Amino acid sequence: MTVFSAGSGGQLPLSALSRRALLRGSLAGVGLLALSACRSAADSSPAADAAGAAASPRRGGVLTVGVGVDFTPALLFAQSANSLLQRLVFNTLTRYDEQLRPQPELAKSWEVAADGLSVTLKLREDVVFHSGRKFTADDVVFAIKNLQNPVRSAQLRSTAATVTDFRKNGDFELTLVLAHQVSNLFDLFEFMIIADSASVEDAVAGTKLIGTGPFTLTDRKPGASLSFARNEKYWNPGRPYLDGVEIKVIPQAETLLSSVKTGQVHLSYAVRGKDVATLKDDKRFRITQYDTGAGAYYIGANVSVPELQDKRVRQAIAWAIDRDRLVQQALGGYASVSSVPWPKSSPAYREQDAKHYQHDPEKAKALLKEAGVTSLSLPLAHQSDAGSTAVAQILQYDLKQVGIEVQLQPVDSPTMQKQLISQTMPALWTLSHSFAQAHPATLAVSAYPFNEAKNTSKFSSPAYTAAVQKAWTRSDADSPEAKALYQQVTDILLEEQFIVDLAIAGLVEVAGAQVHGATLNKYSYLNLDDAYLAG
């Protein structure tokens, strides 16, 4: 079992940490959660930053957030196209800082057994749900069992399922017993929202959301908006500063951009890259690029389709794409080209792997010829929003240059998510995936496109399963042996190309200069504990 210690600058084996150090480290971050965690400003407006540094938190006001995709209640416990609201209503047990070190949230401290087969959590005792019911260890038990339920479609279900027993040591302490060591337990704690057991079915039906978070849901207009008010009984003293939050669903890219420019929307993570580029020199806005690598653009290949069963055809697709043009023209430069899913912050990242596939149409044609393919016509599904359509059109053009005709199939986001989960994608599709931003094993056991046991491409191989399982069921996540296993996974991905990675991109935050203190966690949950409006 591996834990992440505050102040170490990286991941340390449990054996390297004393219990006292663990507890001290876990308690130290309470007051620093929202402003410091997981934010990495790769690009921002200096003027706005200076104004932000000078401003003091102010109480009051309603923050408006523009999103391109509506909230899908049925996917509340899965990561979907709109996961911003999870942290508004709910809390998690722990929260990573920028170095993947867990910090306290509802769990105020923790201790992992020396053999890595159990973890004991001490919980906050001053937390109540929006209903007024007190939060206790029973709610952690429920949260884990809830994710173990396949109906929830939770990507980290396999990690939740390693918890085989719960030993309560009172209302605010419990020990989780594991079936085997896992290297991504704190990925689960960051991902798993704590919901009220009494109203969970109402939550997935979209009629009621009851959590312990900083805001309560007051109104929902499907396809249009969600309204939230400050939770006056929130456990974080003096927080939140905001009176409320309004999430506006604005699927049209031009309308969203206009709403940002006119101040109707204070904050958005859904502005297209090429539109962001038009705002970056405007002092009214602050642009922040999250370089956590929470998103990666890719082409998925359904290997059950006869034309795609030969890996040389899939490799030809990888060589055919001009990733640089894709990044510059469709993403406004807010991404980096890559042939692998790992962001630079991942222990699995190697620059030579990221550069493995480059734009080489002649090599693509040679591979198709070698595979005996003289003509190829395939459907390519994509989300129907403007940004995704622009990506799909570039892919369509590049593939045509090597003799692959693709028919674009635009699909709305909820439908595409269902196809991804149910393995009903057509021959090709393009989307962005997540889960490479945390522990490398999480991607390969949790993300629908990569899951070694059941993935959207319907790809399987004993070698892939063996490498993934070995990387997941060990305790030394940063050891040379672990990194060697990550490399085995990477080598298989590069060779098999059932997922053709194209570019790594974190979310890009576009905020009015008056917005301060908004952050995202590793799974793009919006944390507004310390957010305020000023100026």
Q: What are the structural domain ranges in the chain?
A: 90-205, 291-506
DSSP 135: P
Residue 505 is predicted with a pLDDT of 85
Q: Are 172 and 123 in contact (CB under 8 A)?
A: yes
**Fold of domain 90-205:** Dipeptide-binding Protein; domain 1 (3.90.76)
Amino acid identity for residue 84 in this structure: L
Q: Are 247 and 256 in contact (CB under 8 A)?
A: no
Q: What is the distance between the alpha carbons of residues 255 and 269, in angstroms, rounded to a whole number? A: 14
Conformation bin of residue 497: beta by default, left when phi > 0, alpha when psi is -120 to 50: left
- Number of Cβ within 10 Å of residue 277's Cβ equals 17
CATH code at 291-506: 3.10.105.10
Q: What is the distance between the alpha carbons of residues 395 and 476, in angstroms, rounded to a whole number? A: 39
pTM to 2 decimals? 0.81
Q: Are 467 and 492 in contact (CB under 8 A)?
A: yes
Q: Are 295 and 430 in contact (CB under 8 A)?
A: no
Residue 14 is predicted with a pLDDT of 32
Task: Dihedral sign for Cα 33, 36, 42, 44, please.
Answer: positive
Residue 55 is predicted with a pLDDT of 64
Helix axes 253-261, 386-401, angle to 10 degrees: 130
Secondary structure string (H, E, C) spanning 61-107: CEEEEEECCCCCHHHCCCCCCCCCCHHHHCCECEEECCCCCEEECCE
Profile the chain (535 residues) by mean pLDDT over runs of 10 residues: 29 31 32 33 43 72 95 87 90 90 96 94 98 98 96 89 96 97 93 96 94 97 96 96 97 94 95 88 90 81 97 98 95 91 90 97 98 95 90 97 97 89 95 87 90 94 95 84 94 98 90 94 93 90
Residue 291 is predicted with a pLDDT of 63
Q: Are 209 and 215 in contact (CB under 8 A)?
A: no
Q: Are 284 and 47 in contact (CB under 8 A)?
A: no
Cα dist. 401→316, 317, 340, 376 in Å? 12, 11, 23, 12
Residue 289 is predicted with a pLDDT of 82
In this structure, what token pair is assigned to residue 178? Answer: 């594991």
Residues constituting the chain? 535
Residue 479 is predicted with a pLDDT of 81
Strands 336-337 and 244-249, by their bridges, are unpaired
